[in-house]
């Protein structure tokens, strides 16, 4: 098998249908509720119409939460409030229905799928349908070594692509994307700093489980050291993911690219999914047209990534828990936009309208 070239996605991904979007905008002008009165919901409804290729927009009936899970060796440095190698406990919490995303998903009617790309635990601790995709056990310590081999990075990207195809083929019409990781925000911040050409201190945040000042300084130092390793491979997205990403981040990147190929819209969650989206944008500049930024988590790296992609977050509630929770909170807004765009009546045609025609 020849090596995967992420730049090839640029030729595979098209933008949502601009003609359909114009039709949706024209229909919006004919509705009984004045144009602009629904604020950003109008924009969301028109974006969905273009993504679906239909006017009026269809309701969101099969939303799916996809969570890529992995452990990162850099967590050994004490850059996270959670112990290194403990991401499987987050996975177990979600599977048991005790995680925030589990509670919200039940309430909002969204199903949840967890994909183990690189957890550092015995496979017997989790169900087979979660662990069977694992690329490797944990990712390397990115401040001193590669997270993955290039071959493992390619395998992880291809894993993400397969998951996207499976979801598209099964009828998923909107993805809520998140992560279950320990040390993942350190790798994500490194990717964003490398791609945005900024310093470690500018992108270092407190992570999903808020860390103290000493841990923040350790995290900043780890990102600084990882950046030195990232900069020489900036020209190759696959080598970049191998050097300072991780199996879960590489899989998420492949997933996002293939979702855009399959014309399946995605709501991004926090800094991890935003970092993967930024890598994907470097490979295919049209890909971000298929994504929504669900929330602003307060992580400085996420803000830089979203600015670079020109994505305006739907919510800003400071949700840092991860698990796709913040993005899932945005799902009702997207569903509401679809319902309003589809179900509000058009105003009756007047004599003036007929005269103009």
**pLDDT (tens digit, 0 to 9) for every residue of the chain, 357 residues total?**
568 999 999 999 999 999 999 999 999 999 999 988 999 999 999 999 999 999 999 999 999 999 999 999 999 999 998 999 999 999 999 999 999 999 999 999 999 999 999 999 999 999 999 999 999 999 999 999 999 999 999 999 999 999 999 999 999 999 999 999 999 999 999 999 999 999 999 999 887 667 889 999 999 999 999 999 999 999 999 999 999 999 999 999 999 999 999 999 999 999 999 999 999 999 999 999 999 999 999 899 999 999 999 999 999 988 888 889 999 999 999 999 999 999 999 987 654 455 555
What residues does CATH 3.40.50.10210 cover in the chain? 63-333
Taking the C-alpha atoms of residue 184 and residue 69, their distance in angstroms, rounded to an integer, is 9
Identify the bridge partners of residue 114 per DSSP, sorted by sequence position. 67
Taking the C-alpha atoms of residue 312 and residue 290, their distance in angstroms, rounded to an integer, is 13
In sequence order, the 6+-apart residues with CB closer than 8 A to the CB of 207 are 79, 80, 81, 185, 186, 219, 299, 320
Q: What is the pLDDT of residue 351?
A: 45
| CB distance 224 to 202 below 8 Å | no
Taking the C-alpha atoms of residue 242 and residue 248, their distance in angstroms, rounded to an integer, is 11
State whether CATH 1.20.120 applies to domain 15-58+341-356. Answer: no
What residues does CATH 1.10.1610 cover in the chain? 15-58+341-356
The four Cα atoms 269, 274, 276, 281 give a dihedral, to 10 degrees, of: 130
Phi-psi label, residue 23: left if phi above 0, alpha if psi -120 to 50, beta otherwise:
alpha
Catalytic residues: 323
Q: What is the pLDDT of residue 348?
A: 78
Instruction: Say which CATH class 63-333 falls into.
Output: alpha beta
| Count, residues in the chain | 357
């Amino acid at each position: 098998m020849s090596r995967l070239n992420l730049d090839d996605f640029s030729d595979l991904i098209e933008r949502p249908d601009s003609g359909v979007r114009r039709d949706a905008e024209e229909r919006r002008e004919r509705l009984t509720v004045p144009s602009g009165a629904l604020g950003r919901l109008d924009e969301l409804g028109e974006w969905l119409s273009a993504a679906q290729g239909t006017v009026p927009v269809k309701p969101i009936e099969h939303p799916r939460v996809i969570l890529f899970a992995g452990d990162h060796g850099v967590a050994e440095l004490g850059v996270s409030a959670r112990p290194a190698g403990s991401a499987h406990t987050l996975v177990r919490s979600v599977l048991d229905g005790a995680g925030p995303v589990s509670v919200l998903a039940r309430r909002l009617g969204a199903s949840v799928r967890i994909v183990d790309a690189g957890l550092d635990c015995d496979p017997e601790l989790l169900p087979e349908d979660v662990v069977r995709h694992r690329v490797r056990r944990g990712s390397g310590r990115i401040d001193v070594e590669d997270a993955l081999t290039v071959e493992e990075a390619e395998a992880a990207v291809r894993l993400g692509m397969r998951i996207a195809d499976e979801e598209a083929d099964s009828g998923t019409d909107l993805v809520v994307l998140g992560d279950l990781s320990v040390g993942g925000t350190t790798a994500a911040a490194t990717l964003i700093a490398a791609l945005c050409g900024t310093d470690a201190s500018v992108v270092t945040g407190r992570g999903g489980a808020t860390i103290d000042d000493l841990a923040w300084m350790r995290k900043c130092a780890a990102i600084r050291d990882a950046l030195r390793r990232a900069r020489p491979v900036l020209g190759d997205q696959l080598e970049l993911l191998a050097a300072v990403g991780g199996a879960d981040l590489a899989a998420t990147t492949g997933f996002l690219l293939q979702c855009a190929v399959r014309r399946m819209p995605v709501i991004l969650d926090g800094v991890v999914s935003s970092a993967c989206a930024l890598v994907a944008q470097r490979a295919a500049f049209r890909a971000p047209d298929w994504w929504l930024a669900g929330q602003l988590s307060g992580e400085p790296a996420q803000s830089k990534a979203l600015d670079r992609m020109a994505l305006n977050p739907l919510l800003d509630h400071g949700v840092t828990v991860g698990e796709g929770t913040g993005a899932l909170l945005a799902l009702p807004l997207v569903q509401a936009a679809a319902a309003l765009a589809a179900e509000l009546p058009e105003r009756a045609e007047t004599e003036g309208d007929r005269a103009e025609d």
